[in-house]
Structure 1
Amino acid sequence: MSHTVFLVEDNQDLNSILQKYLENAGFTVEAFLDGLTAQQKIHANPDLWILDIMLPDTTGYTLFKEIKDVSPQTPVIFISAKNQDIDRVVGLELGCDDYISKPFLPRELIIKTQKLLGHKNGPAPTYISSVKVNGYVINRENHTIHHEGVSLSLTSKEFELLLFFIDHPNRVFTREQILDRLWEENYFGSDRVVDDTIRRIRKKMPHLPIETIYGYGYRYRLVK
């Protein structure tokens, strides 16, 4: 039986991406773009809520309290803006079950969701480990890439950055944003390491549509 997840995220692009990933992982997802609409479904009692803290009409904290009043055992994951440590502290003090900070890889949210629902209702569903992009077959689990029968070799950081772009299609990221997400906190080198890593990915995967947005950063362009 599929677990039901209610997702509350006001960014429509991110909402759609997360819903797709959760559904691909085997969950039944109902997504909301605002808090008031989600409030009307609190008594539906899903297996898990995923709440963005900053919403246009209320806050994730308010929704959390209302959810727990109705169903105190239902797990909740908070989504917060980048580097908002106070959000994490408040969320944990309220009693949220987990927390994730933007920007993040959708796979991270899948793992957290699987972990919580696995603890609640037995084995968690699996997610799709392989993805095909512009003729490249990318296996997330094995860290392998094949193109027209040929195996390609990427370093761990190149592979991590590749997945980051694939999981955030059509979004523009600055070098600083990429560094904050993929490099260690104690990294003190030049942000040009991002340029060098992307250059190597492009050389190994010339059909991958990673665009340079001059004066700003980079974007993985997904054409539907």
Structure 2
Amino acid sequence: MSAPKPYLVYLVDDEENLLELLKSYLQNAGYQVKTFQTGEEVLQVLDIDTPHLWILDIMLPDIDGYELLRQIRSKSDVPIIFISARDQDMDKIIGLELGSDDYLAKPFLPRELVIRVQKLLQRSYEKGVSPIAGLAVPQYQDWIQIGPYLISEKGRMVKEGEQPIELTTKEFDMIAYFLHNQGQALHREQILAAVWGDDYVGSDRAVDDLVKRIRKKLPGFPLETVYGFGYRMTVK
């Protein structure tokens, strides 16, 4: 039996030297890496192939990273790490609200990026690997019935009947957090810390936006608003 193919990472940055340095570190960590220096190059591949993870710079010479993020999210829910030299809180907030999964301000140590890539891929694909690019499919088990949905934490998957429901990393992280805290009223700040991390600097509007997306995708999920406080997953 042949060994599984490594994860495929798409790396987008217009700084050629940095691009080659980061590519080298990622390849040494065992990843396949394809690089892009312009937004136009990215748009040309969006309908052709899908990586396991994007690393996306905000400042590009033609199309800014925000627009690329919107385009990618309209076609795929794979993990995205935003990077930027501007180190402004608003960049991080906008990126996360548009659907990125992590944010790293330049300058940073290449090893830090590799560690974040490792953690995000591990969190997104667990012990199995994505069926993208011919990799083995993870074994999903330990299903939990919540309303009309079957939820597998190990497989990070939600189904309605036999139909899988596509969720982003953050959407599933929030669902899993509510599963572990059924019946409890959770403050928005608690949810921010659990899903985005203690170092998140954005507003709690991100929580409301994510809840809105979950309710749209899973209208039967028993999640109720605790007005002026946060949210609670009801126990039935």
TM-score tier by shorter-chain length is 0.5 to 0.7
The gaps in structure 1 that reach 5 residues or longer are 125-224
Q: Where does residue 52 of structure 1 map in the other structure?
A: 57
- From 58, 64, 69, give the equivalent of 1:64: 69
* AA in 2 matched with 1:50: I
Listed as ranges, the matches of 1:72-111 within 5 Å are 73-111=77-115
Q: Where does residue 6 of structure 1 map in the other structure?
A: 10
* AA in 1 matched with 2:53: L
Task: Extract structure 1 runs of 4+ deviating beyond 3 A.
Answer: none
Deviations 1:75-133 (CA, angstroms, capped at 9, x unpaired): 10000114322111111121210000000000111011111111122359xxxxxxxxx
Q: Where does residue 137 of structure 1 map in the other structure?
A: none
SS at match of 1:103: coil
Deviations 1:9-40 (CA, angstroms, capped at 9, x unpaired): 00000000000000000000000111101111
Report the identity percentage.
Answer: 50
Separation of aligned partners in 2, 1:123 and 1:18: 25
* AA in 1 matched with 2:75: V
Separation of aligned partners in 2, 1:78 and 1:60: 8
Count of residues in Structure 1 that have an aligned counterpart in Structure 2: 123
* AA in 2 matched with 1:122: E
* AA in 2 matched with 1:52: D
Separation of aligned partners in 2, 1:108 and 1:123: 22
* AA in 1 matched with 2:21: I
Residues 69 and 99 of structure 2 are in contact (CA less than 8 Å); yes or no, is this contact kept in structure 1?
Answer: no
The gaps in structure 2 that reach 5 residues or longer are 129-236
